[in-house]
Amino acid sequence: STGPSPVLHLKAEYVGETSVNVMWVVNDTASNSYMYRIEVKNGASVMNLMSNLTEVEITELIPGMMYTCTVFAVGADGQTEGEGVSITLDTRPSPVLHLKAEYVGVTSINLTWVVNDTASSSYTYRIEVENGASVMNLTSNLTEVEITELIPGTVYNFTVFAVLAGGQTEGEGVSISQCTRPSPVLHLKAKYVGETSVNLTWVVNDTASSSYTYRIEVENGASVMNLTSNLTEVEITELIPGTMYTFTVFAVVTGCQTEGEGVSITLDTSKSQFL
């Protein structure tokens, strides 16, 4: 008797990192007595599975690897095999690990991450940079990336995907949120200097500055005091007459831990003056 016909419509129904589900169709009238042998090849390594259904879950695979799965219908005698039908597929890379911002600047951020997959030497990485409605995609061949041309004082969501050579198969994305630093404040000056109080004003040009607050560090020798202001000005009171103070103003992004670089001015409270 002739052997079983080759299976039809062989396809991967699901592709994961360490498992794939493969299914197929058979039209032979005798097919309800068939078993199926599935040969799974990756380089020199060959594994054989049996299934009595027209589908199989193949587990314990290596992430980010190319496998060839060949399915043979086996007749009722358990001996006679049909011609094999093959499909080639890649398992997905694992998600990247330990994603973090290594450096945070005003208009740039450096991200780093780690991959443990044995196949990772052939990976590239897609980095999705999202800020509200705006999405930008970058690629990197290394487990790090410098992202430039960002907006100061703005929250960004970065998602990193490991990608197999060829670019068709991606791992699950891993995300991190990070604010860029605000720009330093501009034109810091004293509007009024009294014996025990000082009024400071400054300017900010960042588009995101409506969400900024300001930290004002008041330093006199060993003594340091911190104030905050929601406006681009502050009145500092309870100062000691005739004393030299250094005032440093930092822009702060609300809801983020991110501060801009401080800008300083040094003043003497010795005599009242309007400036």
Cα 12 from Cα 69, distance rounded (Å): 10
One domain for residues 81 and 12: yes
Q: Would you say residue 3 lies in a domain?
A: no
From 44, 64, 91, give the residue that closes a domain. Answer: 91
Question: Do 160 and 206 share a domain, yes or no?
Answer: no
133 assigned to some structural domain: yes
Query: Are residues 105 and 126 located together in one domain of the fold?
Result: yes
d(CA 51, CA 187): 76
Task: State the amino acid at position 219 in one-letter form.
Answer: E
Query: Are 56 and 101 in the same domain?
Result: no
pLDDT in tens, 48-81: 999 999 999 999 999 999 999 999 999 988 889 9
Are 156 and 101 part of one and the same domain? Answer: yes
Residue written as tokens 């080759």? Answer: 6
256 and 270 together in one domain: yes
Asked if 161 and 216 sit in the same domain, the reply is no
Domain enclosing residue 159, as ranges:
97-179
One-letter amino acid identity for 80?
T
> Same structural domain for residues 248 and 195?
yes
Final residue of a structural domain among 156, 179, 202: 179
Confidence of residue 187 (pLDDT cuts 50, 70, 90): very high
Q: Is residue 211 part of a domain?
A: yes
pLDDT digits (tens, 9 = 90+) for 105-159: 999 999 999 999 999 999 999 999 999 889 999 999 999 999 999 999 999 999 9
For residues 173 and 110, state if they share a domain.
yes
Which pLDDT score, from 0 to 100, does residue 275 have?
56
SS3 of 36, please?
strand
Domain count along the chain: 3
Confidence of residue 99 (pLDDT cuts 50, 70, 90): very high
CA distance 138 to 42: 31
Is 86 part of any domain? yes
Count of C-beta atoms within a 10 Å radius of residue 166: 10
Are residues 269 and 241 in contact, defined by beta-carbon separation less than 8 angstroms?
yes
Cα(129)–Cα(72) distance, rounded to whole angstroms? Answer: 46
Q: Same domain for 201 and 165?
A: no
The dihedrals phi and psi of 27, each to the nearest 5 degrees, come to -110, -5
Residue 45 shares a structural domain with residue 107: no
Does any domain span residue 2? no
Q: Please identify, among 57, 76, 91, the residue that sits at the C-terminal boundary of a domain.
A: 91
Q: What is the pLDDT of residues 254-273, one digit of tens each?
A: 888 899 999 999 999 976 56
Tokens encoding 109? 């951020």
**Domain of residue 106, CATH code:** 2.60.40.10
